[in-house]
């Protein structure tokens, strides 16, 4: 690998473009490799089928509002201008705030309105092959010597030894914001707002803070989250020493490869039961639930309309299917299409985010209601996070996610409120969605406090 970096440093390159040096690596689990590395900038992404994983350390290039453009179209253009030409596997990883101009809680300060990174050193596994690579940004003269020196230093520090398990917290306290009484009152206000018909659905978020007796290691939390999750996009963005955003989301916002576009409508929730008969009854109840079917149909109808506008041919599941996760189930409808014209990921993102599954509907009315009534700074929660490559992109919706800061894990979840929703049932639904994080804390051996 060092020879590849040195060879790249010896050649001239196009100024302002990423140069990728890569070499085959021994098979190793990317999360385990990441846990063994030192440093405060760490990144992880995996698709939900386990075909692709990336673990990264350091930053070969990072773009945020502090050094990048303001609008999404200009951002996508900038990133693609910096990516290597041709069929390079190089990608920028990152995401956007749920509403860039709303909320400025200090705990989100390292994430800005958007932030995308090409890690300095990456270990990625794709379809069984493991590769170690370096992303080197060419300077104004086309040289990468400075970047190569940083990469070589990082490679010298890189450890291939198994990570030591960090000391586990022994106890934690919990605080819900809003608390149950305030939450149920907010749901009732939403139900009242449906009366005039201007608002048909609104998605309300809640944050739950777990404070432990010792500092939390974000990568350790991530590894336990991966073990307690299936059929989910797993991610960790750790740009600063004391904070990281991570999660395991079952929901794709969109994937585009060439002119093929894919998305899905995910909504409606029920829990799981260890008893097979009771578990089957829960699944049947979700499929037959008029309220959940109506909520999910609102998302599917919105996607059908958008795909009809963007695509020449559209394929959509005729009926919602069950998506079965470890701790809950959802209703899922898949949709795909062939784009009519040139791909425009920024326009696709603006059209799709937020879907009715994250904001509500109609979109503007729902977002205005959330801005007025919901006193949670969502930050990256329920926002698009993913990757951008030269001629493809994929974003999931950052649900089932949390922010680690020191000894505090703040978990974010939401519930879709429609006419007929019951406040107490919506509270219980969020508790169901949060089980993967609660299990992560219990796996640490932590005792629940008050």
Same domain as 69, residue 125: yes
In a domain, 23, yes or no: yes
Domain count, the chain: 2
In a domain, 245, yes or no: no
Same domain as 203, residue 79: no
Whether the pLDDT of residue 444 is over 60: the answer is no
For the segment 214-238, the average pLDDT, to the nearest whole number, is 93
In a domain, 230, yes or no: no
Which of 130, 157, 184 is the endpoint of a domain? Answer: 157
Same domain as 186, residue 151: no
- Per the structure, the complete domain to which residue 210 belongs is given by 172-218+251-448
In a domain, 408, yes or no: yes
Same domain as 430, residue 377: yes
Whether the pLDDT of residue 219 is over 60: the answer is yes
Same domain as 68, residue 31: yes
Would you name the residues annotated as active-site residues?
201, 251
Are the beta carbons of 354 and 367 closer than 8 angstroms? yes
Tell me if residue 236 falls in helix, strand or coil. strand
Which of 112, 129, 157 is the endpoint of a domain? Answer: 157
What's the pLDDT at 298? 92
What's the pLDDT at 106? 77
Whether the pLDDT of residue 187 is over 50: the answer is yes
Task: Output the domain CATH number for residue 408.
Answer: 3.60.120.10
What's the pLDDT at 369? 95
pLDDT tens-digit map of 23-64: 999 999 999 999 999 887 999 999 998 899 999 999 999 999
In a domain, 239, yes or no: no
Q: Binning pLDDT at 50, 70 and 90, where does residue 5 land?
A: confident
d(CA 178, CA 185): 10
What's the pLDDT at 99? 86
For the segment 290-298, the average pLDDT, to the nearest whole number, is 93
Same domain as 149, residue 196: no
Same domain as 186, residue 57: no
Burial class (CB in 10 A: 0-12, 13-18, 19+), 337: buried
Q: What is the pLDDT of the chain when averaged over all its residues?
A: 91
pLDDT tens-digit map of 58-81: 999 999 999 999 899 999 999 999
Q: Binning pLDDT at 50, 70 and 90, where does residue 166 land?
A: low
Same domain as 113, residue 44: yes
Which of 115, 130, 157 is the endpoint of a domain? Answer: 157
Tokens of 371: 């801005």
Tell me if residue 185 falls in helix, strand or coil. helix
Q: What percent of the chain has pLDDT over 90?
A: 76
What's the pLDDT at 14? 84
Contacts of 418 (CB under 8 A, 6+ apart): 194, 200, 201, 291, 294, 295, 298
Which of 352-361, 390-399, 435-444 has the least mean pLDDT?
435-444
What's the pLDDT at 109? 82
Q: Give 361's strand partners.
A: 201
Whether the pLDDT of residue 440 is over 90: the answer is no
Same domain as 406, residue 354: yes
For the segment 315-330, the average pLDDT, to the nearest whole number, is 95
- DSSP assigned state of 197: S
Whether the pLDDT of residue 108 is over 60: the answer is yes
In a domain, 85, yes or no: yes
Same domain as 431, residue 389: yes
Same domain as 143, residue 21: yes
Same domain as 389, residue 294: yes
What's the pLDDT at 18? 94
In a domain, 326, yes or no: yes
pLDDT tens-digit map of 384-408: 999 999 999 999 999 999 999 999 9
> pTM score > 0.85 for this model?
yes
pLDDT tens-digit map of 119-150: 999 999 998 899 999 999 998 777 888 998 99
What's the pLDDT at 11? 84
In a domain, 406, yes or no: yes
């Amino acid at each position: 690998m060092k020879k590849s970096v040195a060879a790249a440093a010896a050649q001239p390159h196009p100024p302002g473009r990423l140069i990728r040096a890569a070499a085959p690596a021994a098979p190793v689990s990317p999360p385990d490799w990441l846990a063994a590395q030192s440093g405060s900038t760490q990144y992880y992404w995996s698709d939900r089928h386990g075909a692709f994983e990336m673990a990264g350390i350091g930053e070969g290039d990072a773009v945020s509002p502090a050094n990048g453009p303001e609008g999404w179209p200009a951002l996508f253009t900038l990133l693609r201008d910096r990516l290597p030409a041709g069929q390079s596997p190089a990608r920028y990883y990152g995401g956007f705030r749920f509403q860039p101009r709303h909320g400025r809680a200090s705990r989100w300060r390292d994430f800005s309105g958007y932030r995308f990174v090409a890690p300095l050193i990456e270990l990625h596994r794709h379809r069984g092959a493991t590769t170690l690579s370096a992303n080197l940004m060419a300077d104004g003269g086309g040289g990468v010597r400075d970047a190569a020196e940083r990469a070589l230093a990082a490679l010298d520090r890189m450890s291939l030894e198994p990570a030591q398990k960090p000391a586990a917290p022994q106890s934690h306290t919990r605080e819900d914001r809003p608390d149950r009484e305030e939450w149920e009152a907010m749901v009732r206000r939403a139900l009242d707002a449906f009366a005039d018909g201007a608002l048909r659905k609104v998605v309300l978020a809640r944050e739950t803070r777990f404070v432990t007796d010792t500092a939390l290691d974000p990568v350790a939390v991530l590894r336990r989250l991966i073990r307690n999750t299936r059929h989910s996009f797993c991610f960790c963005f750790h740009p600063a020493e004391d904070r990281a955003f991570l999660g395991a989301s079952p929901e794709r916002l969109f994937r585009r490869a060439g002119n093929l576009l894919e998305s899905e409508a995910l909504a409606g929730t029920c829990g799981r039961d260890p008893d097979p008969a009771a578990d089957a009854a829960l699944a049947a109840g979700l499929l037959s639930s008029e309220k959940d079917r109506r909520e999910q149909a609102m998302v599917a109808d919105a996607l059908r309309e958008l795909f009809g506008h963007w695509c020449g041919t559209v394929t959509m599941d005729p009926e919602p299917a069950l998506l079965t996760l470890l701790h809950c189930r959802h209703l899922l409808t898949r949709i795909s299409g062939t784009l009519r014209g040139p791909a425009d990921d920024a326009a696709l993102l603006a059209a799709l985010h937020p879907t009715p599954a994250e904001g509500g509907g109609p979109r503007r009315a729902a977002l205005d209601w959330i801005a007025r009534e919901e006193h949670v700074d969502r930050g990256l929660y329920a926002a698009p996070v993913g990757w951008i490559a030269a001629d493809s992109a994929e974003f999931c919706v950052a649900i089932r996610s949390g922010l680690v800061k020191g000894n505090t894990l703040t978990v974010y979840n939401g519930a879709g409120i429609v006419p007929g929703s019951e406040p107490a049932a919506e509270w219980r639904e969020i508790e169901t969605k949060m089980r993967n994080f609660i299990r992560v804390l219990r796996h640490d051996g932590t005792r629940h406090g008050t």
